[in-house]
Structure 1
Amino acid sequence: MSLTGAYDPANIFARILKGEIPAVKVWEDDDVLAFMDVFPQSEGHVLVISKTSRARNLLEVEPEVLATLAAATQRTARAVAKALSPEGFSIMQFNGEAGGQTVFHLHFHIIPRWADRPLKGHGHAPMADADVLRSLAERIAAALD
């Protein structure tokens, strides 16, 4: 998919927001959902999405929604750092298929990093065990400010 086009209301994140597909939630409010990536590139990989916008990418998002997502990403990253004590973390956001985007609903990745643990490829990591994801989500949620 290119950088332009119509929003697909059947994309996996839209379906998660509608309750059609389960997700391991870290936290949510009226505007944002933070949940565990089921194909994590690293232990504790969290996704942050808007619950109110139908933006497919950074070019389409409303400025006020982007500000809300940025604050939510920062809040979640702080909790990930506190809960998991990584040596660093990456914040990733992909735009368009050529840019690495695989789900066309704007989202931010928070990926904890350790020097001695290789990062799994985006879109190529194996599916994680749901119990492991739930445990990590609970630890991260407990560390939220």
Structure 2
Amino acid sequence: MAVSGIPYDDDNVFKKIIEGTVPSYKIFETEHALAFLDAFPMVKGHSLLIPKAVGYASIIDMPADVAANVVKELPRLARVVKEATGCDGVNIVQNNGACAGQVVFHVHFHVLPRWGPDNDGLVRLGKSGDMISKDVASELLQAMQAKL
């Protein structure tokens, strides 16, 4: 099983899009990545960027070089979405695991055009909580750095 604990679904729709057995509205394609319009968009212009490498349900499981080859295309896709839609900004969202909202278990990034401040009806992150304490920060840092 993958480090993330999320099994890769060999029958997922994104793998089928890469293989060409399911059609998509392709924006662009590179050797390592594929950008296309979301088939069920949350807003007009909602686009996806996926790795062409298969076998990774979660970004947590991707080797750094595989992830880098995909992530380097995010600015390009975000720019194209912003310019084509005339939106005010974009959100880039990447979910890992069902509890985080992941539905297709193949790594993917959503690029969501945003019109604001309240014109698009999409959820926005809430206010930040209280400032982190030194004790909590120290405890978290120690736990995280031990995993490096």
Q: TM-score range by the shorter chain?
A: 0.7 to 0.9
Aligned residues between the structures = 119
> 1:118-138 CA deviation, whole Å, 9 max, x = no partner?
128xxxxxxxxxxxxxxxxxx
Give the residue type in structure 2 aligned to 1:119.
L
Instruction: Please tell me whether the aligned partners of residues 53 and 61 of structure 1 are also in contact (alpha carbons under 8 angstroms).
Output: no
> Which residue of structure 1 lines up, in the alignment, with residue 133 of structure 2?
none
Normalised TM-score (structure 1): 0.76
Within 5 Å, give how 1:41-120 maps onto structure 2: 41-115=42-116, 116-119=119-122
Q: Which of 1 and 2 has greater Rg?
A: 2
Instruction: Please tell me whether the aligned partners of residues 6 and 97 of structure 2 are also in contact (alpha carbons under 8 angstroms).
Output: no
- 1:24 equivalent in alignment to 2:25: yes
Structure 2 unaligned residues grouped into runs of 5+: 124-148
> 1:4-57 CA deviation, whole Å, 9 max, x = no partner?
143222111011111111111000011110000011111101100011242111
Instruction: Please tell me whether the aligned partners of residues 48 and 110 of structure 2 are also in contact (alpha carbons under 8 angstroms).
Output: yes
Distance 1:117 1:99 in 2: 22
> 1:55-92 CA deviation, whole Å, 9 max, x = no partner?
11111011012112211111110111122221111000
- Match of 1:112, SS state, is strand
Normalised TM-score (structure 2): 0.75
- 1:39 equivalent in alignment to 2:30: no
1 or 2 for the larger relative contact order (CA 8 Å, sep ≥6)? 1
The percent of aligned pairs where both chains have the same amino acid is: 37
Distance 1:105 1:89 in 2: 22
Give the residue type in structure 1 aligned to 2:122.
L
